Every structure is written in C-alpha cells, then in structure tokens.
C-alpha cells in the first residue's frame, strides 16, 4: 500500500486516539432519533474501500482528528483519482450517513441530473429506434455531475476538518501520481475504441498512444488543479468559475448540450432513507432515485411470508429468484426521480402487496417473466462504480456508492479539467422496453427529461439488529441490489463481514428472463432442481461485484472490515 503512494506515503502514520465526544448514542429510525438502546461507542474505527490508497486516505483523515464524514470525503476523492474507471468528480453517488451524536440517518442524493436541454427522444433515430451506443461514449452520454457537490456538502455539514484537509490526500495522489493497477489497465483495454474522441483523456491514460503497463505511474495534474479549486472555493470551485468554464467549453466543442446554468443549478438532496424490517433486522437503505431500497423491501417482504429455515436450498433459491423477478418488474414500471415522478410507494412497500406477489409464486414452477403484467404499454458487470464503508470510534457511519457508470464513464475528458465525464444517461430508459447496458428495461417513469435524475441501482445500506450493525454496498449495475439482498440474508443468519464479501452471488432481474450465478453460488443439485422447475440459468463468465463491508458487534465489541476478494481493495480496523 505504502509503495503505491508516492511522497507523503513514504511516512507511515498511526491513528491517534479519538476524543470520545459522545459517551452514549442512540440507534435511530429514519430521520429522527429514537432511543432503542444505549450502547458504548466502538473502541475502533474501520474503513473498507476498493483501493488501498483510498483506505489510507481515510485513515490519514481520521488520524488528523477527522470523523467518519471527513474520512468519507477523503476516501471518495481519493477513489476519484486512483480508481478512474469507476467513479470521479465527473460522476455522482449516494451517501448514507449515520450521525452518532443525534442518531439522525441521512441519505445524501448526489445523483447526476439530465441537462436542461435533454429531451425524451434524444437517443432515438428518425424511426424511433435507439441510436447505437449514444448513451455510452462522449459528452452526450453525460449527466451533470453530483459528486463534487456531495464532498462539499458532507464536509460543511457533517465534517470536523476543512475541506482542504480532507481533499489533501486526493490532491497529492493526482499530482504525485500512483501506480497503475491491473484492474484499471483492464478497463483501459476494454474502452480502447473510445479514446480517440477525447485527446485530454488520451494524454493522461494512453500517453504517446501507448497503453500503460502495470507499475507505470499515472499522474493527473489537471485533476489536481480541479481538486485544488474545489478545496479552496467549495461548490463554486467546481460548478462556477474556471472549472465550470472548462467543462462547458469542452462539452460544447464536442457536441454536448451542457450549459453553465446546468452546473450552477446542480444541487445535492438530503432525503430520508428507506427503512424496513425483516426478521429482527432493520434495513436502512437507498430511496428513489435509487431503485435499491424499493427492490430490497419488495424481496424481503415476499421472503417474510415463508419459513425459509424449514425449506430446502432449492426452495430457498427458487423463492429468492421469484421475489427478485417481481421486484425488478415493478422497478421497470414504477420507479424514477422522486422529484418528477409520482410513485405508488405506499402500495409497493405494503405487506398486502407482498402477500399478493407471494400468492403468484408457484413453488414447483418458474414464472416466465413474459407472463407477468407487461411494463411497456405507455409507449461486465461489477468492475466499475465503487462502494466504501466507514465506521468511526464515535459510532458515526458512512455507506457510500459512487459511479461514473460503465468503465471510464463516457471516456471523455473536457480539456484542462482532468475530469472524466460519466455516462449515466444510459441509466434512463431511452425507449420503453429497450435494454440499457445492464439489460435493464423501463418505461415512462424513467424516461429522459430535463433536469431529471436517472434511476439507479446503487444501494448503500446499513443493517441493524439488537446485536450490532453492518455497513455495506457494492458496484455491479443492476446486480447491486441482489448482492445486497443476499449479503443481508447472510448477515441475519450470523455471517461475518468477510463471509458477506466472499458469498457467491446469483441474480434475476425480470428481463432478460435468466438467473445469472457465479460459479459455486448454487450447488449442482440446486441448479438441476431449478432447471426442472423451468428456470433459465446462466453461469456468469466472471465473478461480479466488489463489496465492502464493516460490521460492529455490540455484544463482543468486535469491529470487522472486509473487502471483496474479487477486487483490489483494502479493509482496515484502527
Ligand atoms: O446507478 C447505477 O445503477 C449504475 N450507474 C451503477 C453502475 C455500476 O454499478 C457499474 N458497475 N458495474
């Protein structure tokens, strides 16, 4: 870890003891504190992220007297530098926060928005058919970024250190450089057809037209300057002034439709998290514009009607798959930007609705997705995006998932900014029924519209029980939600953080009508039984997801942090 961090990383550092400002704190329900229990703060802090340098940036920030929120700013910004394929200042994310002093839990929505000039048919040709790859590469694929505004908001409202201190490790990493990892090189190879549209992107990542090799140093001086303006001027340092001017010039020259007011008007939104209970576990998770919470609640509300422990493994998998199928069907029909769309959330989250869905499940036969009520009457996964989990010694928590969508986002960098733009416009339903990069379908509720937030699957989540808590999330596009669902089921059965990240995964998302599973996720007997019941099964060519988990057991006091063995991350307890 230290080797990859140049200059300040030559110095090893040690977390100093935290001032325990909060002697007791309360477990809380959504939004307002409700005293459930009085628990001593954890003696330790923990960080799990997708890159050792980002974990170290968080550790330095804690050591400098910061709390979990300052550490989240540091980790998030460091990931934006050292994991450029996955997330960055040109993208967005969701931050789930638990403030130990007040018990408040906040979902910070830093999702990208469609530019004001976006139109419903902007990605269709004159015959109304999707233009190939139009939401994938170049500035037209990019929504207005939210991550920089989130960093400022978290630092100003919840942090203890100045933004300049929390951003210092990221600035150092951008300017001094870091050693390219196999994963980022794989992503560059994967996007090789896209480079030519963006000379600035090429200059940083494919200098002299040559792909870097493992061990090469990647320096991002323009990104360092952009981070410095953000550190010095806060929101205005990105969304107004020099950075904004460079972004708009670069986007417009290349045919994009961003305008200066799009940036100036961008705002993060604090929303109440979505909260539900399952078998003594409280799940605090992502509300719309993420689909994560609603899909998770639907799955668990269906599962709650079964005595799973008394059922065979094949029955348990069958019920999970059927619950996933139904939850993702509703995702496609109903979910979108809560500020623009009316969603029947009360009904979708009700026990009565879960009972209706349960009644439609045949234990002996898979339900073909095509037989469910159609949605469209109104006319590589897991390698990009990134999740980190933080607990500090006061009991503050952060679960954050941030993204520029697919590998290297739009693979487009406005000159002079160092900022890789996202391609999150692909998360909209550009035409009813037309699948996006993750095979997800949708309709009017998630159509392209001016200033609208595109529906997401990112699901930063807290699990709480009388014994302790877990902080978790993962990348993986549409498969994020089912990863969290399976990990939560494992946690309630007693799984540790490392067992949660190691768990083999399976996934059903309504359409395409297949169950994707990692090798070993389902035994050969269960696979055979599911096939007999009519399920279509596809073994994933690669493992997927990159989950990061922190757990804290109140009874033993144990804090555990674990990073996904599929990734390159590091999890540490201090
Ligand atoms: O917000 C979403 O749901 C997607 N943009 C997330 C993309 C992702 O996780 C890519 N990683 N495989």
**Nearest CA to 549 among 504, 489, 505, 500?**
500
User: What phi and psi values does residue 4 have, to the nearest 5 degrees?
Assistant: -80, -15
Note the pLDDT of residue 377. Answer: 54
Question: Six-digit token pair at 330?
Answer: 């509703």
pLDDT tens for each residue of 133-166: 999 999 999 999 999 999 999 999 999 999 999 9
If you average pLDDT over every residue of the chain, what do you get?
A: 92
Task: State how far the Cα of 134 lies from the Cα of 104, in Å rounded to an integer.
Answer: 41
Beta-bridged to residue 96, according to DSSP, are 107, 399
Give 307-372 as a DSSP string.
Answer: -GGGS-HHHHHHHHHHHHHHHHHHHHHH---TTT----HHHHTSHHHHHHHHHT--TTSPPPGGGS
- In sequence order, the 6+-apart residues with CB closer than 8 A to the CB of 382 are 474, 475, 476, 477, 479, 543, 544, 545, 546, 566
Residue 192's pLDDT band (cuts 50, 70, 90) = confident
Confidence check: pLDDT of 32 > 70: no
- In sequence order, the 6+-apart residues with CB closer than 8 A to the CB of 47 are 55, 58, 59, 62, 71, 75, 388, 389, 390, 550, 561, 571, 572, 574
Indicate which atom in ligand 1 lies nearest the CA of residue 427. Answer: 5
User: What phi and psi values does residue 400 have, to the nearest 5 degrees?
Assistant: -135, 130
In short, whether 459's Cβ falls inside 6 Å of ligand 1 is: no
Q: E-strand spans in 394-482?
A: 397-403, 461-464, 468-472
Question: Six-digit token pair at 526?
Answer: 């269960």
Confidence check: pLDDT of 19 > 70: no
Average pLDDT over residues 385-390: 98
Task: Spell out the alpha helix ranges (H) of 159-233.
Answer: 163-176, 182-190, 199-205, 221-233
Indicate which atom in ligand 1 lies nearest the CA of residue 544. Answer: 12
Note the pLDDT of residue 196. Answer: 85
In short, whether 385's Cβ falls inside 6 Å of ligand 1 is: yes
More confident residue, 379 or 508: 508
Confidence check: pLDDT of 4 > 50: no
Indicate which atom in ligand 1 lies nearest the CA of residue 422. Answer: 5
Residue 384's pLDDT band (cuts 50, 70, 90) = confident
Note the pLDDT of residue 172. Answer: 98
Confidence check: pLDDT of 24 > 60: no
Task: State how far the Cα of 328 lies from the Cα of 348, in Å rounded to an integer.
Answer: 12
Residue 427 CA to ligand 1 center (angstroms) comes to 8
Confidence check: pLDDT of 10 > 70: no
Confidence check: pLDDT of 29 > 70: no
- In sequence order, the 6+-apart residues with CB closer than 8 A to the CB of 197 are 137, 138, 254, 411, 412
Q: Which of 123-127, 193-197, 554-558 has the lowest mean pLDDT?
A: 193-197
Instruction: Name the catalytic one among 55, 135, 367, 385.
Output: 385
**Nearest CA to 51 among 527, 571, 534?**
571
Note the pLDDT of residue 376. Answer: 72
Q: Which of 37-41, 48-52, 507-511 has the lowest mean pLDDT?
A: 37-41
pLDDT tens for each residue of 111-120: 999 999 999 9
Domains of the chain, each with CATH number or no CATH: 42-87+101-270+406-446 (no CATH), 272-382+458-568 (1.10.246.130)
Average pLDDT over residues 174-181: 97
Q: Which of 308-312, 382-386, 470-474 has the lowest mean pLDDT?
A: 382-386
* In the chain, % of residues over pLDDT 70: 92
pLDDT tens for each residue of 63-79: 999 999 999 999 999 99
* In the chain, % of residues over pLDDT 90: 89
Question: Six-digit token pair at 252?
Answer: 């417009």
Whether 385 sits among the annotated catalytic residues: the reply is yes
Contact between residue 387 and residue 474 where contact means Cβ atoms under 8 Å apart: yes
Neighbours of 5 (CB within 10 A): 24
- Local structure of residue 388 (DSSP, 8 states): E
What's the CA dihedral at 481, 573, 167, 401 to 10 degrees?
A: 0
Which of 385, 408, 484 is the best mutation target for the ligand 1 pocket, counting ligand atoms within 8 Å of the beta carbon and taking the most?
385
Buried b (16+ CB within 10 A) or exposed e, 308-346: eeeeeebbbbbbbbbbbbbbbbbbbbbbbbbeebebebe
More confident residue, 28 or 81: 81
Task: State how far the Cα of 113 lies from the Cα of 467, in Å rounded to an integer.
Answer: 39
Contact between residue 383 and residue 183 where contact means Cβ atoms under 8 Å apart: yes
Confidence check: pLDDT of 38 > 80: no
Note the pLDDT of residue 394. Answer: 97
Average pLDDT over residues 544-565: 97
Residue 405 CA to ligand 1 center (angstroms) comes to 5
SS percent in the chain: helix, strand, coil, step 5: 35, 15, 45
Contact between residue 548 and residue 474 where contact means Cβ atoms under 8 Å apart: yes
Helix, strand counts (H, E) of the chain: 17, 20
Residue 23's pLDDT band (cuts 50, 70, 90) = very low
More confident residue, 26 or 526: 526
Q: Which of 2-16, 27-41, 365-379 has the lowest mean pLDDT?
A: 2-16
Residue 17 CA to ligand 1 center (angstroms) comes to 37
**Is beta strand 537-539 parallel, antiparallel or unpaired with respect to 515-517?**
parallel
**Nearest CA to 463 among 476, 473, 455?**
473
Average pLDDT over residues 447-475: 98
In short, whether 518's Cβ falls inside 6 Å of ligand 1 is: no
Neighbours of 380 (CB within 10 A): 16
pLDDT tens for each residue of 213-266: 989 999 999 999 999 999 999 999 999 999 999 999 999 999 999 999 999 999
Q: What would you measure as the largest C-alpha separation in the chain, in angstroms?
A: 65
Residue nearest to atom 6 of ligand 1 (CA): 477
What's the CA dihedral at 264, 243, 409, 470 to 10 degrees?
A: -70
In short, whether 457's Cβ falls inside 6 Å of ligand 1 is: yes
In short, whether 135's Cβ falls inside 6 Å of ligand 1 is: no
Which of 296, 457, 507 is the best mutation target for the ligand 1 pocket, counting ligand atoms within 8 Å of the beta carbon and taking the most?
457
Task: State how far the Cα of 373 lies from the Cα of 62, in Å rounded to an integer.
Answer: 51
User: What phi and psi values does residue 196 have, to the nearest 5 degrees?
Assistant: -65, -20
Contact between residue 440 and residue 434 where contact means Cβ atoms under 8 Å apart: no
Task: State how far the Cα of 346 lies from the Cα of 300, in Å rounded to an integer.
Answer: 15
pLDDT tens for each residue of 302-345: 999 999 999 999 999 999 999 999 999 999 999 999 999 999 99
3-state secondary structure 146-175: CHHHHHHHHHHHHCCCCHHHHHHHHHHHHH
- For the chain, the first-to-last Cα distance in angstroms comes to 16
Buried b (16+ CB within 10 A) or exposed e, 182-209: ebbbebbebbeebbebbebbbebbbeee
């Amino acid at each position: 870890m230290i080797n990859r961090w140049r200059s300040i990383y030559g110095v090893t550092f040690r977390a100093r003891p935290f001032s325990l400002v909060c002697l007791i704190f309360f477990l809380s329900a959504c939004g307002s504190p409700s005293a459930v229990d009085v628990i001593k703060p954890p003696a330790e802090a923990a960080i799990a992220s997708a890159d050792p340098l980002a974990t170290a940036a968080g550790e330095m920030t804690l050591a400098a007297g910061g709390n979990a929120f300052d550490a989240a700013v540091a980790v998030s910004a460091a990931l934006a530098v050292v994991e450029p394929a996955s997330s960055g200042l040109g993208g967005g994310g969701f931050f789930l926060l638990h403030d130990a002093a007040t018990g408040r839990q906040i979902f910070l929505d830093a999702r990208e928005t469609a530019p004001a000039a976006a139109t419903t048919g902007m990605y269709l040709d004159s015959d109304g058919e999707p233009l190939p790859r139009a939401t994938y590469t170049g500035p037209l694929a990019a929504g207005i970024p939210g991550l920089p505004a989130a960093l400022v908001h978290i630092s100003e409202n919840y942090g203890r250190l100045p933004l300049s201190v929390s951003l210092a490790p990221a600035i150092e990493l951008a300017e001094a450089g870091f050693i390219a990892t196999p994963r980022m090189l794989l992503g560059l190879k994967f996007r090789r057809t896209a480079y030519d549209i963006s000379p600035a992107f090429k200059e940083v990542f494919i200098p002299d037209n040559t792909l870097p090799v493992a061990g090469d140093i990647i320096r991002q001086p323009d990104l360092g300057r952009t981070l410095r303006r953000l550190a010095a001027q806060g929101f205005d340092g990105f969304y107004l002034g020099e950075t904004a001017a460079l972004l708009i010039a670069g986007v417009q020259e290349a045919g994009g439709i961003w305008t200066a007011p799009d940036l100036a008007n961008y705002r993060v939104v604090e929303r109440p998290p979505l909260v539900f209970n399952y078998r003594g576990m409280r799940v605090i998770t992502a509300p719309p514009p993420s689909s994560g919470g609603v899909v998770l609640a639907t799955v668990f509300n269906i599962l709650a009607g079964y005595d799973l422990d008394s059922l065979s493994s094949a029955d348990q998998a069958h019920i999970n798959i059927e619950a996933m199928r139904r939850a993702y069907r509703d995702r496609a029909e109903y979910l979108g930007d809560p500020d623009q769309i009316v969603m029947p959330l009360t009904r979708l989250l009700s026990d009565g609705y879960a009972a209706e869905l349960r009644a439609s499940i045949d234990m002996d036969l898979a339900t073909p997705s095509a037989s469910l009520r159609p949605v469209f009457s109104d006319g590589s996964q897991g390698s990009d995006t990134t999740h980190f989990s933080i607990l500090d010694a006061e009991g503050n928590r952060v679960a954050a998932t941030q993204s520029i969508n697919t590998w290297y986002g739009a693979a487009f960098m406005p000159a002079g900014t160092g900022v890789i733009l996202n391609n999150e416009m692909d998360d909209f339903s550009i035409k009813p029924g037309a699948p996006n990069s993750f095979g997800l379908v949708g309709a009017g509720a998630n159509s392209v519209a001016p200033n609208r937030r595109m529906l997401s699957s990112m699901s930063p989540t807290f699990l709480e029980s009388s014994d302790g808590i877990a902080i978790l999330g993962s990348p993986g596009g549409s498969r994020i939600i089912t990863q969290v669902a399976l990990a939560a089921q494992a946690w309630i059965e007693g799984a540790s953080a490392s067992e949660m990240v190691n768990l083999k995964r399976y996934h059903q998302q309504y359409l395409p009508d297949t169950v994707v599973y990692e090798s070993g996720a389902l035994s050969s007997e269960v696979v055979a039984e599911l096939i007999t019941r009519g399920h279509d099964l596809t073994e994933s060519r690669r493992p997927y997801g990159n989950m990061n988990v922190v757990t804290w057991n109140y009874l033993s006091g144990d804090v555990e942090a674990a990073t996904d063995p599929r990734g390159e991350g590091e999890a540490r307890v201090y």
